[in-house]
Chain A
Amino acid sequence: MTKSTLPRKYFLMHLIVFAFVVGVFTIDYITVIIKFGEAVIGTNSKPIANYIRFLPFDFFGWELKKLIHFFSIILNGIISLYFSIGIIGAFNSIINKKYNLLTSFFIATFIQTILLGLGVLIFETRVYLYSKIYYLLFYPTTIFLWIFFKDISIKCKMVHAIKSSAKFKSVLLLLLVSGVLLSNYIMSIGIQSTGHKELVITPDQYDVSIWVKDNLQKGNITCLGGVPETLWFYAISNKTAISTETTHGFSDDILPLKFTEWKSSAVKGDVVIILDTDKVNVDLDEFEIMYKKEMLWS
């Protein structure tokens, strides 16, 4: 690790920025964990997934998640650590005047995270989008994580030994490739264990979807196969998306009403997808808050 040659005032400036970033980040995590704890002990009846939407939680179904609270906390800790190491990596880069672009990318993403985090905490909005910034953050974090380990290995004088070992390289390559394949496999197992079908639109479901393209005249809709009793539908009519509200429990009163509304105003060129939710076992629970609180996009 090279010695810092950064002028003191810039170093202090970066330090203040990072203290702020790390501080807010930590507070944010504590808040999330507290909310998570509330959900676990039952003082908060809202689903955990609405607060924390980190990657691994959604691999398993809702029922399974109820059983693995403790496991979820551990996972949350691991991911916190992952991002924290990323912060150290970024901090390290700034001190060493290296990787300015990546560092700024990281800072930029963090600033967004903070703004969104504050928005979530103060105004209780857009939990859904807040989570998405983490997905973007994942990319620079991984690079910084690697830099961090590289610096450690240089310190421990391990680099030369590792670099010169062909056997080590072969094993590492094998592990990397098998890791990609394995994670795909685990994903399939995780989804299947919940009882969800992995495919939303399979050839069967494609057939039961109601296509109106060639059967649509103004105000006169011919539905192929008839309207299912329980339906999810997404229509684009006159440049506007109309969708069923995917609430927790289907209300037979609401869904046909929306559908009827669309039918009465349908014009040629509308695209509509209708899925029979009895046949298509899509996961609607976790989108309850998202669809209730906000539009699909705003």
Chain B
Amino acid sequence: MLLELLIIMIGIFTSYLFIRCIYPTQTLIKLFLSSTTIFMCLMILIGYVLNFFGLPLISKNTLIFFLLICIMILIKNKDNLYQKVRIDDRYNIFSFIFIFIVGFISYIFPILPSLLPVSRNVDSAAHFAMVKYIVENNILMLHNTLGSFIVPNDYPFGFHLNAALISKALNVEPIYIIYPLAVFIAVLTVCLIYGIIVESKISNRFFGLVPAFIILAFFLPIYMIRVMGWWSMAFGIFLVISFIWISIDYLENPRISKLIPLIIIEIGVIFSYTFFSINSTIDIVSGNNDKINSST
């Protein structure tokens, strides 16, 4: 339990440093959300490597990996860390918290007080089995064949590995973790949408709430996580939307180093919901071209 908590804390701290070094101008909320995404993706990446070499997934090795990354960041690029963090204005902070609270309460309400997952679909049971397998055996369902090195042959494990880590850290049966985690991810996705709208100046801060709430109120996230139990898909969408938000920084000031977090997220998407990975690749390429076209 202590080890897993340490992994989470050091992992998030590492991701925070990582994002701070590469995107020093990000605001606090974006920094927090980007760090969460990067942490989950780094966990996936480290998990894949450890599993490939037959080492236990959630162990001291994971911690060592995070510490190594942390040290590398501190040695290589520490100048940006001294810059002051930009705090979002009150209105934005309030909006993010407001979206999060309304979404979280309305989605979590049906499963109270048991916290057991709701869905009418057997997928929830299948996903639960996958998380449970990782918790019990500390290995992935992946077979280390050539194919699985490129694209997972088996069901992508991103969501399950992160759920297993939290389950171990809190010392709670994974059955009580998976649905709250799915809700957390779905609601964060809506927060990301609000972030994209505000940062792209598509709408002003108040009216930016409208599309965010349409997504919350519309059936999609509820449908995905509450009816069908498609938690891996919800996780995949979270990573793709996060990719979009972070890539705004890249497109404003394209530098190769800024691609590193995007590549990490892309790997996260491949191992979480392989199907969506093509999308974000085309997105960044065509987005960049559009920018070049516009400037000519």
Contact = CB atoms under 8 A, between A and B. Distances in A.
A199 B126 CA distance: 14
B278 A112 contact: yes
B120 A198 contact: yes
A196 B275 CA distance: 30
- Interface residues of chain A: helix, strand, loop or mixed (majority): helix
A76 interface: no
Nearest to B138: A269
A135 B196 contact: no
Given A112-B282, A240-B154, A275-B125, 5 more contacts: A100-B287, A104-B290, A184-B107, A200-B120, A241-B126
Contacts of B248: 101
B67 interface: no
Contacts of A203: 114, 116
A191 B118 CA distance: 11
A182 interface: yes
Interface stretch (A30-38, A40-48, A53-61, A217-225): A53-61
18 contacts: A6-B294, A58-B227, A59-B223, A99-B200, A101-B283, A138-B220, A139-B189, A139-B215, A142-B193, A180-B103, A184-B110, A200-B118, A200-B121, A234-B129, A239-B142, A239-B154, A241-B154, A275-B122
Please name the 8 residue pairs, one residue from A and one from B, whose CB atoms are nearest each other, closest first: A108-B282, A176-B213, A179-B217, A100-B290, A104-B286, A104-B287, A180-B217, A146-B211
Contacts of B203: 146-147, 150
A58 B155 contact: no
A203 B155 CA distance: 27
Given A184-B107, A198-B120, A108 B279 contact: yes
Interface string A94-107: 00010111111101
Contacts of B278: 108, 112
Contacts of A240: 141, 143, 154
B282 A58 contact: no
Contacts of A275: 122, 125
B210 A172 contact: yes
A239 B107 contact: no
B141 A201 contact: no
B251 A173 contact: no
Interface stretch (B8-16, B27-35, B81-89, B236-244): B236-244
A284 to B, nearest CB: 7
